[in-house]
Amino acid sequence: MNNQYTRREVFCRNTCHDLKRFWEREIGKQTYYRESEEHRLGRSALRKLREEWKQKLETKLRLRNNPEDTEKRTNVG
Protein backbone atom coordinates (compact mmCIF):
# COMPACT_ATOMS: atom_id res chain seq x y z
CA MET A 1 0.00 0.00 0.00
CA ASN A 2 2.87 2.40 0.65
CA ASN A 3 4.19 1.70 -2.84
CA GLN A 4 1.01 3.06 -4.35
CA TYR A 5 1.35 6.33 -2.47
CA THR A 6 4.98 6.65 -3.40
CA ARG A 7 4.23 6.07 -7.04
CA ARG A 8 1.43 8.62 -7.00
CA GLU A 9 3.71 11.18 -5.40
CA VAL A 10 6.36 10.60 -8.01
CA PHE A 11 3.77 10.61 -10.76
CA CYS A 12 2.16 13.77 -9.42
CA ARG A 13 5.51 15.51 -9.08
CA ASN A 14 6.41 14.72 -12.68
CA THR A 15 2.96 15.63 -13.89
CA CYS A 16 2.99 18.92 -12.02
CA HIS A 17 6.41 19.73 -13.43
CA ASP A 18 5.21 18.82 -16.93
CA LEU A 19 2.08 20.93 -16.55
CA LYS A 20 4.11 23.87 -15.27
CA ARG A 21 6.57 23.53 -18.14
CA PHE A 22 3.71 23.25 -20.64
CA TRP A 23 2.01 26.44 -19.40
CA GLU A 24 5.30 28.32 -19.22
CA ARG A 25 5.87 27.43 -22.87
CA GLU A 26 2.34 28.53 -23.82
CA ILE A 27 2.75 31.82 -21.99
CA GLY A 28 6.12 32.31 -23.67
CA LYS A 29 4.59 31.68 -27.10
CA GLN A 30 1.75 34.13 -26.45
CA THR A 31 4.20 36.75 -25.21
CA TYR A 32 6.33 36.28 -28.33
CA TYR A 33 3.31 36.57 -30.63
CA ARG A 34 2.06 39.70 -28.85
CA GLU A 35 5.46 41.38 -28.96
CA SER A 36 5.98 40.52 -32.63
CA GLU A 37 2.51 41.87 -33.46
CA GLU A 38 3.23 45.11 -31.59
CA HIS A 39 6.53 45.42 -33.44
CA ARG A 40 4.82 44.81 -36.77
CA LEU A 41 2.18 47.43 -36.03
CA GLY A 42 4.87 49.87 -34.97
CA ARG A 43 6.49 49.61 -38.39
CA SER A 44 3.17 49.87 -40.18
CA ALA A 45 2.70 52.72 -42.63
CA LEU A 46 -0.96 52.89 -41.65
CA ARG A 47 -0.11 54.56 -38.36
CA LYS A 48 1.92 57.21 -40.18
CA LEU A 49 -0.87 57.83 -42.67
CA ARG A 50 -3.43 58.19 -39.91
CA GLU A 51 -1.21 60.71 -38.15
CA GLU A 52 -0.76 62.72 -41.36
CA TRP A 53 -4.51 62.77 -42.03
CA LYS A 54 -5.18 63.75 -38.44
CA GLN A 55 -2.81 66.71 -38.77
CA LYS A 56 -4.39 67.77 -42.07
CA LEU A 57 -7.89 67.62 -40.61
CA GLU A 58 -6.85 69.56 -37.52
CA THR A 59 -5.32 72.24 -39.75
CA LYS A 60 -8.49 72.48 -41.84
CA LEU A 61 -10.65 72.74 -38.73
CA ARG A 62 -8.40 75.44 -37.32
CA LEU A 63 -8.60 77.38 -40.57
CA ARG A 64 -12.36 77.04 -40.69
CA ASN A 65 -12.86 78.10 -37.07
CA ASN A 66 -10.40 81.02 -37.16
CA PRO A 67 -10.47 82.65 -40.62
CA GLU A 68 -9.12 85.91 -39.15
CA ASP A 69 -5.85 84.25 -38.24
CA THR A 70 -5.40 82.96 -41.78
CA GLU A 71 -6.00 86.44 -43.24
CA LYS A 72 -3.33 87.87 -40.95
CA ARG A 73 -0.89 85.16 -41.97
CA THR A 74 -1.50 85.66 -45.69
CA ASN A 75 -1.20 89.45 -45.41
CA VAL A 76 2.07 89.20 -43.47
CA GLY A 77 3.60 86.56 -45.74
**Residue 1 confidence (pLDDT):** 47
Domain ranges for the chain, please list them. 16-70
Please determine, for residue 2, whether its predicted confidence score (pLDDT) is greater than 70: no
How many CA atoms lie within 13 Å of 73's alpha carbon, on the beta-carbon side?
6
Residue 43 — very low, low, confident or very high, per pLDDT cuts 50/70/90? confident
Pinpoint the alpha helices (H) of the chain. 2-43, 45-65, 67-76
